[in-house]
């Protein structure tokens, strides 16, 4: 294995969504991640487990946690690990005998990462939920969408992976730093509602300063500003415009041949924004997405084509950076971020449940 986390041992108790993504990120960066799958169970996503990219770079052992021997195996692995990731409802790990008390008794220096939607305590802690529920309660869903329309679901990137996985990884790495310093591990309670609320810090600051209205499509960064918006092209595709700064806005007007319009509303004349939006929309509707892409190429107007997932894998800039790679027959995002001295690499495809059981027990010296 390579990467800055080479030598880090992580146990992942199998789940779905943000927990596996957090463990994948650690594996991408070089950690030895052992996924504990359910003995005799299928894939948690209900599909071919070898196609679940969130498990790339990991190894799998199958364990029956309803049996004392299975519990002992997990505790044995935890005893040899630096961190453990668990994403079940509060209380489940404790009932199975692999909760924080049992694990930290076996390995006091271990970092126990807990990934949930609502957190380990609070009125909703033991109830079900999904990304859309968490970001709704955290206030992050309400601002997303057009004025006069309903909130728009931003896939599950904001909650599960932004407010969930990434905060869990940051918490684990911070706690590992503390464990290196003191020899004491701890529990990291990563709740999607907490992380998602934290992501809205800028918006709360703007609102406190009177620079953000608590309604959709009325602000600088929510599509309200005509110079930070998406416009349809002649071929029913779209261009993204992000010309916030005055110099970039001036470049946008020049590229749209609007810089000599005598009565065009000013950039920050909010009363004139509806008219400015109509002018921009009419202009973008005159050419195809490809034509506009070529027209804005090489400039600082902050205008880019809105690409599909498939199209993004073939984009020239992303290809030059190697943002996407083909490994094991699948095109997929490469590890991120980049490191100058300890580059990360994809080390293996998603495993079958239990595929590496004997190998893991031998290497980790677990009986």
Catalytic (active-site) positions: 130, 160
What's the burial of 225, exposed, middle or buried (CB within 10 Å: 0-12/13-18/19+)? buried
112 CB-near residues (< 8 Å, 6+ apart): 83, 84, 86, 100, 103, 104, 185, 186, 187, 188
64 CB-near residues (< 8 Å, 6+ apart): 38, 39, 40, 70
Phi-psi region of 145 (alpha: psi -120 to 50; beta: other; left: phi over 0): left
Cα torsion at 15, 18, 21, 22 (round to 10°)? -100
Helix (H, G, I), strand (E, B) or coil at 167: helix
Is 55:85 a contact under the CB 8 Å cutoff?
Answer: no
Helix residue ranges per DSSP H, 243-328: 246-255, 273-284, 289-296, 309-312, 316-321
- Of 274, 225, 271, 215, nearest to 252 by C-alpha is 225
Find where tokens 């790339």 sit. 56
Whole-number Å distance between alpha carbons of 353 and 34: 11
**What's the length of the chain?**
367
CB atoms within 10 A of CB 265: 17
Tokens of 27: 């594996």
């Amino acid at each position: 294995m390579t990467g800055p986390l080479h030598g880090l041992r992580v146990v992942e108790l199998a789940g779905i969504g943000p927990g596996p993504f957090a463990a994948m990120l650690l594996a991408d960066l070089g950690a030895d991640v052992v996924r504990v799958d359910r003995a005799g169970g299928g894939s948690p996503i209900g599909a071919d487990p070898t196609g679940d990219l969130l498990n790339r770079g990991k190894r799998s052992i199958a364990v029956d946690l309803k049996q004392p021997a299975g519990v002992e195996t997990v505790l044995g692995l935890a005893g040899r690990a630096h961190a453990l990731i668990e994403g079940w409802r509060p209380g489940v790990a404790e009932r199975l005998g692999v909760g924080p008390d049992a694990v930290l008794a076996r390995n006091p220096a271990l970092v126990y990462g807990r990934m949930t939607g609502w957190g380990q305590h609070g009125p909703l802690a033991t109830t079900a939920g999904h990304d859309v529920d968490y970001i709704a309660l955290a206030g992050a869903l309400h601002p997303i969408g057009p004025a006069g329309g309903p909130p728009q679901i931003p896939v599950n990137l904001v909650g599960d992976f932004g407010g969930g996985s990434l905060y869990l990884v940051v918490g684990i790495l911070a706690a590992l730093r503390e464990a290196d310093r003191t020899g004491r591990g701890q529990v990291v309670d990563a709740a999607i509602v907490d992380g998602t609320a934290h992501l809205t810090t800028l918006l709360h600051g703007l609102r406190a300063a009177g620079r953000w209205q608590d309604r959709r499509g009325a602000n600088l960064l929510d599509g309200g500003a005509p110079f930070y918006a998406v416009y349809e092209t002649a071929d029913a595709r779209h261009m993204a415009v992000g010309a916030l700064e005055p110099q970039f806005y001036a470049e946008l007007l020049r590229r749209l041949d609007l810089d000599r319009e005598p009565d065009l509303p000013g950039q920050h004349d909010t009363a004139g924004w509806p008219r400015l939006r109509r002018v921009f929309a009419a202009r973008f509707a005159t050419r195809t997405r490809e034509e506009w892409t070529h027209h804005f190429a090489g400039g600082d107007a902050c205008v880019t084509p809105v690409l599909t997932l498939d199209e993004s894998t073939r984009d020239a800039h992303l290809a030059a950076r190697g943002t996407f790679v083909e490994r094991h027959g699948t095109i997929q995002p490469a590890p991120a971020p980049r490191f100058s001295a300890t580059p990360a690499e994809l080390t293996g495809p998603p495993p079958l449940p239990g595929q590496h059981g004997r190998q893991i027990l031998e290497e980790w010296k677990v009986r």
